[in-house]
Structure 1
Amino acid sequence: MVDVSRGLNLLEILKESVESQKLSEVKDAVEDLLISRINLALVGQRVEEKTSLVNSLHGLCPGDQGAASSSPPLHTEDAVCYPNPKHTDFRLWDLPPVPDVSPFEPDAYMDRVKFSRYNAVFMTFTETLPPGAVGVFLQARSLQQHTVYWTFLVSEKNKDKNLEEKRRASMEMLTSKGVSQPKVYLVRPAALETLDFPALLEDMTKDLPEIRSCALLLALPTLSASLVSQKKEAFKALVWAAASLSGGMATVPVPLVASMVDSSVAVRILAKAQVSLCLDDASVERLARRRGVDPSALKALRACALSVEVTKGGVKSRLAAAEKNVSTVSSKLLQMAVPRQACSAGRSFSAMLNALNGAIDDMAADAEKILASALG
């Protein structure tokens, strides 16, 4: 797998791998991003707000296929997995609350719920912090697991004027229990674009390794224009990697690689983009239901044909048109895209880069229009 040190740009990481002729690592990264493999756990009482958070993170409404039920599981001490119907390797895990017993052994609880296997963990609460949860948090930090976040789930009954007081009280309690410089995020499960969830997402993407961070961004629903922009940049890095594998890099000959990356991979990338940007009919209809708007009005905003349906014929037409007009790719774009050790780029690289980047731009523009209209 690509060496994904924190804080590096995904495109730069992929370039370095191509320069080092580690094409198998780039291929793994492409596959990883197309799958969006990530495990996110929610610890806390199984209340309505927690169920709502699970569904909102998957972009689902109550009653949708794969949506979490408000009914507690038969065995309340079990971890319950909710795979995303559209991104099956993006799994949300509803973990049981930390036991309120004395003495409490954090290690025993963490072993039972397999705490270390999750890429990130939300320590959720709705009123007061369970004392045992603090012990779990401190133990996770001692084990260098830093992607653990205190998440205050704000119900519709909570008045905004009282939220800061509750945050302050929670932070004081955490400080008294030995948590240094605690952060508490206020999250309204039914409206993730409000309050602190955007800041929580920003911190998570900084804390997670680059590939996992991008996988999370691609699997989340389109909550804001900023998230649409981030998704677009991640897809452009993915496009660059796929174009590199197409055999178009003149200085990086890789036997049998060219045949692996053709129009079928371009179809997979754009199909992933359509779902990730919530442009497919089912996603648009769910967004319309949540916001109480006419779904046909939102669907009509899709100007790009690929936003409506990704077909092999449509993708091939784009690639063919780009191949004819490959000379229109500016020298500046090639200079930015081609690794420093490469002297020239083949036509297949340029054509795929131009065709797919243009498609991603058009689809992201449609996503921004739909989101702006839905949010009013």
Structure 2
Amino acid sequence: MADIFRGLNLLETLKESMESNKISDVRDAMEDLLISRINIAVVGDRGSAKATFINSLRGLSPEDEGAALSPCPTAPEELAVYPNPKHPDFRLWDLPPVPTASPFEPEGYMDRVKFLRYNAVFLVFTETPHPNSVAVFLEARSAQRETVYFALLALENDTEKSLEAKRKASMEVLKSEGVSLPKVYLVRPHTLEKCEFPTLLDDMARDLPELRANALLLALPTLTCSLVSQKRDAFKALVWAAASLSGGVSAIPVPLVASMVDSSVGVRILTKAQTSLCLDDDAVSRLARQRRKGPAALKALRSCTLSLEVTKGEVKRRLTAAEKELATTSSRLVEMAMPRHARSASRSFTAMLQALNAAIDEMAADAEKIVTAAFVEGN
């Protein structure tokens, strides 16, 4: 996935806020990164392929609690919402299929399902898109909504050759209906890491606002080592914001800020990292079941204590150890990262940055080992 912080240059924005004594902006940015919501809709016939796609986006199997079912128990004309059990700020919406009747008014369908309120929409199909679905796509584009994507969901008996034939036929439908520069992504619902779902994520990262792209990244299951790396970088930006608050307390006196930047902030960040990197026992067991691996073998790959459980005691221990090591820490890191007037507060900044970044690196390393064992070796 592309660098999700490229668009707004988050770190530069945070540094400018520190230079301008706008520490409340940094605090707000950190909260936005920790609690950034995203709503994604999936439009298409309610068959097994669509249900599997929705479940895979949430890291679930059909037998898991809260999984999308096939056949869908929701009435054909109603919406179904699927909150993520681990990420309540990420919601998937199963929208009714676009009617195939003629004449068709796309505006009426879009108003009924509140189409434009979703941050991104997947128009999914298993053969070729219906012209009425294309009409909805064009109407969305006319409303300046760029985050609408056609996804061809592979069936279990589809081969690479049959998928390419379906894609070619789908492209012809899009062209004939007036779509300029049409694009269709091939997606295997059971194995999102294959085919073109990673490419779709890249495009979404460019199209979505920064905070929405961040919310999507952190809520997705760890499908590839590349995703793990991007999650790690996102959490390091979050650590920078938290450390800046900690380091800026004495240089920029703001009432009650000190109480917010203690170890509890580190616990919040690392707990979210553990969940996002799918390191908790439930996530590893679920992955093992999906990939037909022994859960004990995957769990044994976690060498970082925080991968197993994030506790306030462990976070405090790491922060204390980082404080003791500051005598041998190069001040160059602080010179590069902190604004000049706040360098007198560099001690707490450096301690938090060093401790939490090291923890993020260790947890990400565990996640990469699990992904490699479950996905790469499995392939």
TM-score of the alignment, normalized to the shorter chain, above 0.5? yes
Alignment of 1:1-376 (within 5 A): 7-248=7-248, 251-339=251-339, 342-375=342-375, 376=377
Paired residues of 2:247 and 2:347 also in contact (CA < 8 A): no
SS at structure 2 position matched to 1:39:
strand
Q: Give the superposition deviation at 1:23.
A: 2.8
Q: Distance in 2 between matches of 1:118 and 1:15?
A: 31
| Structure 1 alignment gaps of length 5 or more | none
Paired residues of 1:271 and 1:310 also in contact (CA < 8 A): yes
Q: In the alignment, residue 99 of structure 2 is paired with which amino acid?
A: P
Q: Distance in 2 between matches of 1:249 and 1:100?
A: 60
Q: In the alignment, residue 67 of structure 1 is paired with which amino acid?
A: A
Paired residues of 1:9 and 1:210 also in contact (CA < 8 A): no
Deviations 1:101-145 (A, max 9, x none): 222111111111111111111011111211111111111111111
Paired residues of 1:248 and 1:349 also in contact (CA < 8 A): yes
Q: Distance in 2 between matches of 1:9 and 1:227?
A: 20
Q: Give the superposition deviation at 1:372.
A: 0.5
Q: Give the superposition deviation at 1:345.
A: 3.9
Q: Distance in 2 between matches of 1:16 and 1:143?
A: 34
The structure-2 alpha-carbon separation of the partners of 1:153 and 1:321, relative to structure 1 and needing over 3 Å to count, comes to same
Q: Give the superposition deviation at 1:16.
A: 3.0
More deviation, 361-370/319-328: 319-328
Deviations 1:204-225 (A, max 9, x none): 1111111111111111010001
Q: Distance in 2 between matches of 1:279 and 1:77?
A: 38
SS at structure 1 position matched to 2:361:
helix
The structure-2 alpha-carbon separation of the partners of 1:328 and 1:172, relative to structure 1 and needing over 3 Å to count, comes to farther
Q: Give the superposition deviation at 1:331.
A: 3.0
SS at structure 1 position matched to 2:372:
helix
Percent of aligned positions that are identical: 67
Deviations 1:22-55 (A, max 9, x none): 3333323322322341101101111101100111
Paired residues of 1:86 and 1:275 also in contact (CA < 8 A): yes
Q: In the alignment, residue 173 of structure 2 is paired with which amino acid?
A: M
The structure-2 alpha-carbon separation of the partners of 1:341 and 1:141, relative to structure 1 and needing over 3 Å to count, comes to farther
Q: Distance in 2 between matches of 1:271 and 1:228?
A: 16
| Structure 2 alignment gaps of length 5 or more | none
Q: Distance in 1 between matches of 2:23 and 2:253?
A: 10
Q: Distance in 2 between matches of 1:17 and 1:140?
A: 36
Q: Give the superposition deviation at 1:297.
A: 0.6
Root-mean-square deviation (CA, aligned residues, Å) is: 1.8
Paired residues of 1:248 and 1:347 also in contact (CA < 8 A): no
Q: Distance in 1 between matches of 2:216 and 2:18?
A: 24
Q: Which runs of 4 or more aligned residues in structure 1 lie more than 6 Å from their structure 2 counterparts after TM superposition?
A: none
Q: Distance in 2 between matches of 1:35 and 1:5?
A: 16
With the length of structure 2 as denominator, give the TM-score of the two structures: 0.94
SS at structure 2 position matched to 1:146:
coil
SS at structure 2 position matched to 1:326:
helix
With the length of structure 1 as denominator, give the TM-score of the two structures: 0.95
Paired residues of 2:49 and 2:155 also in contact (CA < 8 A): yes
